[in-house]
Amino acid sequence: MTLSLNTMSNPTPASLEMAQQALEDGLPRLIHDYRPDYHLAPPTGWMNDPNGVVFFRGEYHVFYQHHPFDAQWGPMYWGHAKSADLVHWQHLPIALAPGDDFDRDGCFSGSAVVCGDTLALIYTGHTWLGDVGDERFIRQVQCLATSVDGERFVKHGAVIEHAPQAGIMHFRDPKAWHADGYWYLIVGARLADTPLLPLYRSTDLRAWEFLDYASRGTDGDGYMWECPDLFRLDGRDVLLYSPQGMQPAGYERLNKYQTGYRIGRLDSDWHFTGGPFIELDNGHDFYAAQTLETVDGRRLVWAWLDMWESPMPSQAHHWCGMLGLPRELELQGDRLGTFPARELVALRQAPLPSVAPWGESGYCSVPQVTGDRLEIHVHLDLLGCTEGQLGVALRCSADGQEQTLLYYDAALRRLVLDRGRSGAQVSGQRSVSIAPEETQLHLRVFLDRSSIEVFEDNGRFSLSSRIYPRPDSLGVTLLANGTGGRVAIPKAWPLGSGWL
């Protein structure tokens, strides 16, 4: 299949050159205290949503929402990086810049697909019709851009110029895929305070037929579903999206916005029916996830490892935002299992000494495990742990002022990630429930300067959060302040750089 390249616009507008120059000018001002070493982050400036994640000509490409001129959100560009192995990344020139009539005020989120020998980006062109920031007066259209080399893109303008019905202004984040001889596309939309997911079909990525609303929200579902993604996994349909406006309930949905999924079926009338909304990650910072099917059939997902209106102290360091690790999704009954991408083992350097099981009351420093870029396997033996807390303190400072806690709370029967002393500006706890019959917890913990990502070894949950400790807060400590149970670190590795 080949994509026609007619109606091209200028592939190298001055705004792209200015944006690239802004990145180069910003590099000398960077402060590296919080900059990740093996996660995707912008060279300088602002990053939010992952956009097109795609495999093209033997390499993985990840695009992202980017403001290259400042570490604050601004008119959106598309940043761009690629990798041959999902581990080592290379920044590429900025892919898209706003400025045409159809995307004058922003190239908002979207997706990428491969059509024959062409890489196609489908994104939302954003225009303020009134004052900048006044969301009552906006125009959003779905646009197409293409590239034959995977680096230089040509815009083709709006391919869906109007929402399916009057009254819809918020109309963004198209996700496209190919199945059964057609291209399909799902978009997030908002009608008053009702979220809608319009579904479209095309034969050429240019002319799109509206099929129906694949899903729509009801009371309690929020007012907008951003970044929708609809895909097949082991014979089931999975609807992944990021709702805005859902209310907290107990320990659930504590972030300003969430990212989660429903598992079900898209029927022949283009309607998705499925189970309840389940958060994909239970940490403080995880949003706008997007998936990719690999050549070997795995489903990978990336997300923005930040949250709107959360503390972002790296802005003072002239950069802001990072993406989480690529994760593999696996269907486990009526839930998704989440695992770090298997390729990430290539980051491991010489293993650190193991830490034997320990269960005495108090704290036990383990100087053989230290650093700010680590993979640590934590084993919690909960047998007999009937009260108190059992776990580890990470990124500990020598003066005792800083630490990030990960522990089992016996009274609550929950695994808790506590940022109360995790450094600049951040605070708060996030947790997941642990069944009463569970006596063993095996956790994989990834630390990278200003982030922590915790994965249960069987994929049942993950907790991902930003932390901002001082560069010299590098210690690891075991903790036990109740009765029973033991904690061990059977394996740990320093992790190398993910940048070429």
How many CB atoms lie under 10 A from the CB of residue 459? 18
Amino acid in position 469: P
Two structure tokens written together for 263: 């598992």
Instruction: Tell me the residue length of the chain.
Output: 500
Q: Which of 36, 48, 31 is CA-nearest to residue 290?
A: 48
49 catalytic residue (yes or no)? yes
Ramachandran angles phi, psi of 374, nearest 5°: -135, 150
Q: Which of 432, 421, 430 is CA-nearest to residue 467?
A: 421
Q: How far apart are CA 294 and CA 291, in angstroms?
A: 10
Amino acid in position 345: V
- In three-state secondary structure terms, 130 is coil
CA dihedral 35, 40, 43, 48 (to 10 degrees): -100
Q: How far apart are CA 440 and CA 316, in angstroms?
A: 42
Helix and strand element counts for the chain (H, E): 1, 34
Residues 65 and 72 sit within 8 Å (Cβ to Cβ): no
Q: How far apart are CA 56 and CA 61, in angstroms?
A: 7
Q: How far apart are CA 374 and CA 262, in angstroms?
A: 33
Q: Dump the DSSP string for 69-89.
A: T-SS--S-EEEEEEESSSSSE
The active-site residue out of 37, 49, 281, 418 is 49
In sequence order, which residues have a C-beta less than 8 Å from that of residue 14 and are 6 or more positions away?
Answer: none
Q: How far apart are CA 304 and CA 288, in angstroms?
A: 6
Question: Tokens 């007619």 belong to which residue?
Answer: 6
Known catalytic residues are: 49
